[in-house]
Structures are given as structure tokens and as C-alpha cells.
Amino acid sequence: MAGPQMQATQEEMAAANVDMVWRDFCAHVLIKLNDCRRKSLYVPWKCEHERHEYEKCQYKDYKKRVAAAKEASS
């Protein structure tokens, strides 16, 4: 089974000023979220959908890592 694929390239992440610590498998969603935040001047309720999508992506990635760790330990 192939592992997850990055959807955002290093160039896209660099252009979007994504810090190295946030360059994970959800970076493509984070780029959209940060773009929305900048356009709305960081008004918290303007980007709720994008934030939810980012949090959902992070949760799914976490669940995959936990499952992989369990599989590796058994």
C-alpha cells in the first residue's frame, strides 16, 4: 500500500509562506485557510469552513499515524 501523497509542492508552500513545521499532508488545505484569513483580515467567523476542513484533514492524518504505529508495534 502506497503512503499518502503531498498535494502541495515545496514551491507552493514557500510562495504561501507556510512555516516548515506546518508543511505536512494537510498543507494544501492550510494554504487555502491562510489565504482566506488574509483576505478577511483574520476575522474569526469568516473562514469557518476552511478551518473545519483543515482540522478534519489534521484529524484524519493523526488517525492514519496512530493506526500505522499500532500496526508497526504488533
* Mean pLDDT within 35-52: 96
> Exposed/middle/buried for 27, CB within 10 Å: 0-12, 13-18, 19+?
buried
Q: What is the pLDDT of residues 15-39, one digit of tens each?
A: 999 999 999 999 999 999 999 999 9
* Residue spans per domain, the chain: 10-73
Quickly tell me which residue has 483576505 as its cell. Answer: 39
User: What's the pTM?
Assistant: 0.88
* CA atoms 43, 46, 48, 51: torsion sign: negative
Q: Is the pLDDT of residue 1 over 60?
A: no
